[in-house]
Amino acid sequence: MNNTPQISILLIDENPRTRWEIIAAFLSIGIIAEVIIANANDTPKDLFAGMRKFDMIVADPFSYVGHGVEMMEALRTYPISKHIPMLVYSACAKRDWGGISCINKPAHSAVLAGALLRTLPQDALTGLPTRAERSLENIVP
């Protein structure tokens, strides 16, 4: 396994533990993931400066004292990010988030890995390590 990130995630959540949960979930299936945490005052323009590319956005709408909802909505309408798949990872994920995939915090690493793999776009899944491919095959939709 090389040290080059294979998957790049934008995380809207101020809790550093969430970043490590996502990294650990990916590592459990052999994927190296770069997880970039948005700052509370970031705008989509800030997050995509230099045409940065993310494979997926993971968001807790209640992060940053509720500002996470505003960030999610801004990203869903910003031209560069509006087509990037999003996963809500929150203690309040059961709420309807307008068709966005959801998972409740905290989640077991294998459950989180499955949700992450289901949310990633197909082009990001090409060339995955064997363990990741097996994990994807075992996911029940």
pLDDT tens across 44-67, in order? 888 888 767 899 999 998 888 778
Going by C-alpha positions, the residue among 123, 98, 128 that lies closest to residue 113 is 128
Domain-wise residue ranges, the chain: 7-138
- pTM here is 0.83
Going by C-alpha positions, the residue among 95, 119, 116 that lies closest to residue 107 is 116
- Say whether domain 7-138 belongs to CATH 3.40.50.2300: yes
Going by C-alpha positions, the residue among 104, 134, 136 that lies closest to residue 121 is 136
What the block records as the tokens of 45 is 């323009």
pLDDT digits (tens, 9 = 90+) for 115-139: 998 888 877 766 666 556 556 566 5
Contact 14, 66 (CB under 8 A): no
CA distance 127 to 44: 29
